[in-house]
Structure 1
Amino acid sequence: MDLGERKLLWVERFMPVLRTLRAEFERTRPFSGLTIAIALHLEAKTAYLADTLRAGGAEVYLASSNPLSTQDDVARAVAARGVRVFARRGATQEEYEAYLEELVRARPHLLVDDGGDLVHLLHTRYPEIAASVIGGAEETTTGILRLRALARSGRLRFPMVLVNDTPTKHLFDNRYGTGQSVWDAFVRTTNLLVAGKTVVVHGYGWCGKGVAQRARGLGAEVVVTEVHPVRALEAHLEGFRVLPALEAAAIGDVFVTVTGNARVLGREHFARMKDGAFLMNAGHFDVEVAVSELREMAVRIDEDVRPNVDAYVLPDGRTLYLLGKGRLVNLVAGDGHPAEIMDLSFALQALSLLYLRERHAREGRLAPELLPVPPEVDEEVARRKLAALGIAIDHLTEDQRRYLEGEEA
């Protein structure tokens, strides 16, 4: 048995919710006759989601949502199970786009996107194929920002379920998943301590909260930068030092961008950083750390001083270390989120596709709109996870339910 298949079997052991859904899908085959396109970071948890949908009767096409996050052994293993795979680690930008086009040319009925590149491609280059899409589900904050822009301009062509915005996703995946996987990637890549370092977290959304909390748990002094006054106040009240990014640049040992925005760290920040500072991006696209500006400033670039670590030597002799080429550090330099976390997120993806499938069967062509994950779906995923953990909870009595609904004084 090769390594990729062993990775698949390992994550299956720790994804009980998706495992129970897979068993149900194998019995009911709800996606029979449908083609599903998936653009996600291609590692073992993603592969298990793809194989779960295949077990449900779908013809599944799978590509990566990032040129550097594919694990080639996993890609081979899931292809051997019958999923059509178009990805390789280290793909050029041209290859990356060509792989996404393979998914589009499959004329998918349903899709799962991560960051919005697949949806963008359908809307800009293949509108005639987009017209036949039943709907899809988006995994990330970045992708949802792009979807909202499409919807505001009236250009959205099919419904998309905003998986990232549902409580089970942003409370657990974004906070606990990103929080742990970022520091897992840093530690395994550098073999250095987090304790005693000053960590600067740029952005205090759900992902930033997780990164900051885990850094503090590992013994770091944590500084937060923010543009949103409410989130900045929240960070302050939770015990973090809040500073403007330029001030923080002079004191940080490790910088993590988690904003979903562009050029969070640029030339003016690099000019103030300590010798030996580390730069990591945990946002979806490689635009938060302005790598092109860092490259222009450097008099020498030593690539792979350790795997996934590039050293940028500046004119004054300082060296800044960039992890994962400025791409998603937890996937480029690590294995991504823990399997127990992705069990929740990918169960939501599978059930969101089932929701779209069932609505389409009842109602016909669905309106092109942005849809929340139905609350009952979110609660069902949480309920299944609790059951898998052996945790029992209380239930409202009929009197309590009536009281909360105002049916009696």
Structure 2
Amino acid sequence: MSTVTATNNVTSLHDYKVADISLADFGRREITLAEAEMPALMSLRKKYAAEKPLAHAKILGCIHMTVQTAVLIETLVELGAEVRWSSCNIFSTQDHAAACIAAAGIAVYAWKGQTEEEGEWCIEQTILKDGTPWDANMILDDGGDLTAMVHDKYPEMLASIHGITEETTTGVHRLLEMMEEGSLKVPAINVNDAVTKSKNDNKYGCRHSLNDGIKRGTDMLLSGKQALVVGYGDVGKGSAQSLRQEGMIVRISEIDPICAMQACMDGYEVVSPYTGGINTGNITDIDMRLLQDTDILVTCTGNAN
């Protein structure tokens, strides 16, 4: 149970902390709608609910706390697992989804608009139960923050953890760095490079959602404006298509020559964000004229180069 005092109207009660528990009914309606769009998980529930193949699984989760993730969480629980959850992003939580999961008796620490410190606190609360490290045996991560915190602050837990799944490119890169330096202590599965993730969600999910998110957040007409997309991997490809179908003038910055060639062949102008096309590592080498002509800048890579 959390003993931290609630602030800013965020509810802290029992083993959860969410923005507003009264949103649970709305969350349930939205989750029911999401179930209709997730037939694979629903088929798994129907097929294996009686067998409980995840009995004795104790799962720490740190993935965007949305209605879609709620369907995943409830599937894990229905198949026998115990789950503790937080969001991997301080802005992505859908408060009604988090409230519904909390009302269902599942430990969740997430609300939209956290500070960085609150985000780290929420991740730590999934690790701790009644103030002590939980005897978890699996980690489901997105971005690597939960994995890093367990390794850095609670290494004693690693002996009982069978493995880690990592959902996103940035988290996979962190795992590879840990493996190279010898600090990764448990097996990890690279979910991001599954074809259904990298070639489906990364590309088509971004194509569907980017323009919608920008318009909801800014209420701005996009047609005719200048956009710079940094990175032309699967996420960049989908994002560029999303902006182009709004009528934006889209330019691409990409350091990988193959991806840059793909951007060119797809009809985009490929540009360098650096004066003369050379990155010396100095901020003074950034081509400020390019940024001055850009209305919307979209970063689609965790590569700082």
Fold equivalence (TM over 0.5): yes
For the structure 1 residues 221 and 271, does the alpha-carbon distance in structure 2 shift closer, same or farther, using more than 3 Å as the test?
closer
- Higher-RCO chain (CA-CA 8 Å, sequence separation at least 6): 1
- Contact 1:182–1:282 under 8 Å retained in 2: no
1:54 positional shift:
0.6
Q: Does 1:277 align with 2:300?
A: no
Aligned to 1:12: 35
CA distance in 1 between counterparts of 2:294 and 2:205 reads 27
CA distance in 1 between counterparts of 2:92 and 2:285 reads 27
Q: Does 1:124 align with 2:152?
A: yes
- Contact 2:273–2:290 under 8 Å retained in 1: no
Report the count of equivalent residues: 271
Specify the SS of the correspondent of 1:150: helix
Q: Does 1:153 align with 2:153?
A: no
1:270 positional shift:
5.6
CA distance in 2 between counterparts of 1:279 and 1:16 reads 35
- Contact 1:202–1:225 under 8 Å retained in 2: yes
Give the letter for the 2:266 counterpart: E
Aligned to 2:9: none
Specify the SS of the correspondent of 2:135: coil
- Contact 2:65–2:86 under 8 Å retained in 1: yes
For the structure 1 residues 198 and 20, does the alpha-carbon distance in structure 2 shift closer, same or farther, using more than 3 Å as the test?
same
1:147 positional shift:
0.3
Structure 1 stretches lacking a partner, 5+ long: 248-262, 289-409
Deviations 1:343-377 (A, max 9, x none): xxxxxxxxxxxxxxxxxxxxxxxxxxxxxxxxxxx
For the structure 1 residues 26 and 269, does the alpha-carbon distance in structure 2 shift closer, same or farther, using more than 3 Å as the test?
farther
Q: For the pair shown, which has the larger CA radius of gyration, 1 or 2?
A: 1
Give the letter for the 2:68 counterpart: K
Aligned to 1:48: 71
Deviations 1:193-247 (A, max 9, x none): 3322222111011100111122222322221111111111111122111111247
Where do 1:302-381 residues align within 5 Å? none
Where do 1:23-172 residues align within 5 Å? 23-104=46-127, 105-172=133-200
1:280 positional shift:
4.4
- Contact 2:60–2:138 under 8 Å retained in 1: yes
Give the letter for the 1:43 counterpart: T
Aligned to 1:237: 265
After the TM superposition, which of the residue ranges 185-194 and 273-282 deviates more from structure 2? 273-282
1:40 positional shift:
0.5
